[in-house]
A and B are shown apart, each in its own frame.
Chain A
Amino acid sequence: QVQLVQSGAEVKKPGASVKVSCKASGYTFTSYDINWVRQATGQGLEWMGWMNPNSGNTGYAQKFQGRVTMTRNTSISTAYMELSSLRSEDTAVYYCARVWGESFDYWGQGTLVTVSS
């Protein structure tokens, strides 16, 4: 069965960077784009960007341009999202999601990133 398993919770200080992983299983990793979506506590879903695991091509939301980097390691079917220059407003649950058509059919369980001094 398709699974996306994310890395564990992180606590970071303002100005630091965080790298969240998303390990895919149950399907061919390079056949489906991976997107990243975040959700602050009590808030809605916010799209961050996409990555094509086959080519490595990426596209980022304007809000995160210059601060986010999405990469992958195809040998271990894992996608990564790194966010730099963290601030308190980046405290949120970060999700990876598999693209199917124009929707997201499978999601990771989420990774809580807390930014606090």
Chain B
Amino acid sequence: SYVLTQPPSVSVAPGQTARITCGGNNIGSKSVHWYQQKPGQAPVLVVYDDSDRPSGIPERFSGSNSGNTATLTISRVEAGDEADYYCQVWDSSSDPVVFGGGTKLTVL
């Protein structure tokens, strides 16, 4: 089955740029989606189809995908961005939905 690999944690100072990676074999050929999850809350879609934002998501959230790595970039990080972030793809294998293990973003 397809595997997505994320770093367990990323730390960034307020106002700086956070980059969270999601690695997978030829992930550039797939559409990658990103979710933000704050403690005690359901996940929220922040980027879909590699780089599109749902309505209501700030422009500070952006995404890219190429080769074996997809990246979620959060510009001008705020304290309220502190959360767990998950990448997700739809694969052609028997279990079509795959999530990465999640990355905890800490705002210093």
Interface residues, chain A, CB within 8 Å of chain B? 35, 37, 44-47, 50, 59, 61-63, 95, 97, 100-105, 107-110
Contacts and interface: CB of A to CB of B under 8 A. Distances in A.
B90 A47 contact: no
Contacts of B89: 102
A47 B48 contact: no
**Size class of B's contact patch?**
20 to 34
Given A103-B33, A103-B49, A45 B102 contact: yes
Contacts of A108: 42
B102 to A, nearest CB: 5
Interface of B: 31, 33, 35, 42-45, 48-49, 54, 86, 88-90, 94-102
Contacts of B102: 44-45
Nearest to A105: B45
Contact of A62 (B42, B94, B101): B94
A110 B39 CA distance: 12
